[in-house]
Amino acid sequence: MKKTKNNKNLIEKINTSKVYNPIEAIKILKENSYTKFEESIEIAINLGIDPNKTDQNIRGMINLPKGTGKNINVAVLTKGDKQNEAKEAGADLVGENDLIDSISSGKINFDLLIATPDMMPSIGKVAKILGPKGLMPNPKLGTVTQDLKTAIQNAKSGQVQYKNEKSGIVHAGIGKMNFNEDDLLENLKAFFSAINKSKPDTVKGSFIKKVTIASTMGVGLEINVASLR
């Protein structure tokens, strides 16, 4: 991707080779935002894992204490009275076979899919569509559950899923540029803590290699890992 003129100016203005303390990095990103839209603040954590070994891959979910600032569209796949429960809890899209047919045709108008256990056999028909998009419901992530109300409320209030990429890096949004610095710091530390606690037993040596935060259109700034512990 070609760097924009504004981005080039940022690189010249900001010392990107320095390791910053978290609040300093957050301030720099906020002070140097030049976009007309509300940028997201994202974190990237380089892990000391071998992504080719399944027992070293990490995946999970965390509720950020200050939310994400994003409006999450939640779809629920269920039947009977559970459909009313999902609607009352704030689901944006609720269905059964009609929702599966919609997914099959390529219509995916949601950011998260929650399902009750009795729907899992039917979801198998669209697993190849949902899987690559990271939308397949998973009991370990709380997206296959009978407690639809809690799952929907968690998703709407700032729940973030994480999964390492093939490069061994975990990415996530931790808030918006209009968040105050303390709220961004709290979310940053909460996400870091969740990743740090997820270290697989088979990983020897340093687990977290590097932590970087960046805004949507800004530069990446490395964070002092010790200051996050």
**pLDDT value for 4:** 61
Per residue in 109-128, pLDDT tens?
A: 999 999 999 999 999 999 99
Question: Hey, what domains does the chain have and what are their CATH numbers?
Answer: 15-68+160-228 (3.30.190.20), 74-157 (3.40.50.790)
Q: What is the pTM of this model?
A: 0.81
Residues of the chain predicted below pLDDT 50: 1-2
User: For residue 1, what pLDDT is reported?
Assistant: 42
Q: For residue 197, count CB atoms less than 10 angstroms from its CB and return exposed for 0-12, middle for 13-18, buried for 19 or more.
A: exposed
Instruction: Say what the pLDDT of residue 6 is.
Output: 63
> What's the pLDDT at 161?
87
Name residue 183's amino acid: D
| φ, ψ at 173 (rounded to 5°) | -85, 135
